Chains A and B, each alone.
Chain A
Amino acid sequence: MDKTLEIELTEIRPKVLATALKFFRASRLDGDPEDVVQDVLLRLWVARRDGVQIRSAEAWAVSTTKNSCISLWRKKGPVRSGVYPEWLSDGKDASTLIEQSEAERMADKALERLPAGTRRLLQLRATGLSLDEIAAITGRTKGGVKSSISAARQELMKTFNTK
């Protein structure tokens, strides 16, 4: 884990949150400004991981926050998560696909039953972030992140184990 990045995320977070809050107030946009903050910090994390040259992380984050706010405002609705990768349906017959699609629907339902914040933690983890990085992005403690992920996995395990 890059300690510098963790510190950078923590330091930039208040500025990003203030920029998002300002927009949510002015536009009366429904939703949680925290989602924009996490989106922007995740983008910064990805940019750093990919070696993108950023002269001023704060200026970059504020600019990205503005873009993210407008993007959200234009959509004015929940962002649909990605579709299942194509390889899942490769070489399957119709009955298997129906069965599989039913299993996917059940999986989606199981995930939807989790609180949105917890679901977000699982997704951040699946994106490849460490617990420290998730903590910096979400503004939670590392211990809190870990116990939430563990509890969510145990919960999902119960759902998937009965099928």
Chain B
Amino acid sequence: MDRKDLIRLYLDAETTCEQEQELAASFATTPPADEEEMAVYKMMLSVRPIELSELPEAGAEYDRMVKPAKVRPFFTWGLSLAGVAAAITAVVLFTGQPDRPGIPATPQNDYTKLIQQIAFLSNFNPAEAENLEFKPVGDGFVMTAHFPDGQTASYILTPLDGGKSFNLVALNK
């Protein structure tokens, strides 16, 4: 196959690796004959192969940097239960205040409020937080979740079953 044919195939990306090597080698022995050949020659020179530099042995450094993020899955699986616990606890906290005198609460109002509180709390999923802060308190933690929209929410985590699971109690937002 002559150089013109190889160039045509090269521009259509139809050449094999071996044919591209053959084309490059032909320029080493025979100078480009015209503008088109010169353009292909320049192109081949300008696109340089990727050089792989030596990598550091950095597995431990990687693990150290990524480890904090591994806390999240633990909370994610726990949220199905802990989230419900948080919602119920918060509802009890919010609705446990004595009713104002003169405003009798009807069962209908209580249920509406309860549903609203659960819906409200369900919007704050700690797993969606941008970052989580932990402060040890007694044998548990106060966890503050910072959400991407700038809002924060605090929770108390208390260990259950010797630390196999945690109870999550919403404090505020």
Contacts from A to B (Cβ < 8 Å): 22-23, 25-27, 39, 42-43, 46, 63-64, 66-71, 73-74, 79, 81-82, 84, 88, 103-104, 107-108, 110-111, 122-131, 146-147, 149-150, 153-154, 156-157, 160-161, 163
The interface bits of chain B over 40-59 (1 if a CB of A lies within 8 angstroms of the residue's CB, else 0) are 10111111111111011111
Partner of B13 from A26, A39, A42, A153 at Cβ < 8 Å: A153
With the chains together, A88 CA to B66 CA distance in Å? Answer: 45
User: Does B11 contact A26, Cβ atoms closer than 8 Å?
Assistant: no
Collect the chain B residues with CB atoms within 8 Å of residue A22's CB: 66, 69
Asked if B10 is at the interface of the complex by the 8 Å CB criterion, the answer is yes
Partner of B16 from A63, A107, A126, A130 at Cβ < 8 Å: A130
Contacts from B to A (Cβ < 8 Å): 10-13, 16-17, 20, 35-36, 38-40, 42-53, 55-59, 61-63, 65-66, 68-69
User: Does B65 contact A157, Cβ atoms closer than 8 Å?
Assistant: no
User: Does B48 contact A23, Cβ atoms closer than 8 Å?
Assistant: no
Collect the chain A residues with CB atoms within 8 Å of residue B52's CB: 39, 42-43, 46
Question: Are A70 and B46 also in contact (CB < 8 A) when A42-B52, A43-B52, A157-B11 are?
Answer: no
Partner of A153 from B10, B36, B57, B63 at Cβ < 8 Å: B10
Q: Give the 3 A-B residue pairs with the shortest CB-CB distance, closest first.
A: A70-B58, A107-B46, A66-B62
User: Does A82 contact B51, Cβ atoms closer than 8 Å?
Assistant: yes
User: Does A126 contact B48, Cβ atoms closer than 8 Å?
Assistant: yes
A sample of 16 more A-B contacts (CB under 8 A), given A88-B45, A103-B42, A157-B43, is A46-B52, A71-B55, A81-B48, A81-B51, A82-B51, A84-B48, A107-B42, A107-B45, A108-B46, A111-B47, A123-B48, A123-B49, A126-B50, A127-B50, A130-B16, A161-B35
Collect the chain A residues with CB atoms within 8 Å of residue B69's CB: 22, 25-26
B34 nearest CB across to chain A (Å): 10
Collect the chain B residues with CB atoms within 8 Å of residue A124's CB: 50
User: Does A129 contact B13, Cβ atoms closer than 8 Å?
Assistant: no
User: Does B13 contact A23, Cβ atoms closer than 8 Å?
Assistant: no
User: Does B39 contact A157, Cβ atoms closer than 8 Å?
Assistant: yes
User: Does B55 contact A23, Cβ atoms closer than 8 Å?
Assistant: no
- Return the chain A residue nearest B69 by Cβ: A26
With the chains together, A46 CA to B12 CA distance in Å? Answer: 26
Collect the chain B residues with CB atoms within 8 Å of residue A79's CB: 53
- In this complex, the member of B47, B52, B58 whose beta carbon has the largest number of chain A beta carbons within 10 angstroms is B47
User: Does B11 contact A160, Cβ atoms closer than 8 Å?
Assistant: no
Partner of A67 from B51, B57, B66 at Cβ < 8 Å: B57
B151 nearest CB across to chain A (Å): 20
CB-defined A-B contacts under 8 Å, sample of 20: A27-B65, A43-B55, A67-B59, A68-B55, A70-B58, A70-B65, A71-B53, A79-B53, A88-B45, A103-B42, A104-B46, A122-B47, A127-B49, A150-B12, A153-B11, A154-B11, A156-B43, A157-B40, A160-B38, A160-B42
Collect the chain A residues with CB atoms within 8 Å of residue B49's CB: 123, 126-128
Collect the chain B residues with CB atoms within 8 Å of residue A46's CB: 52
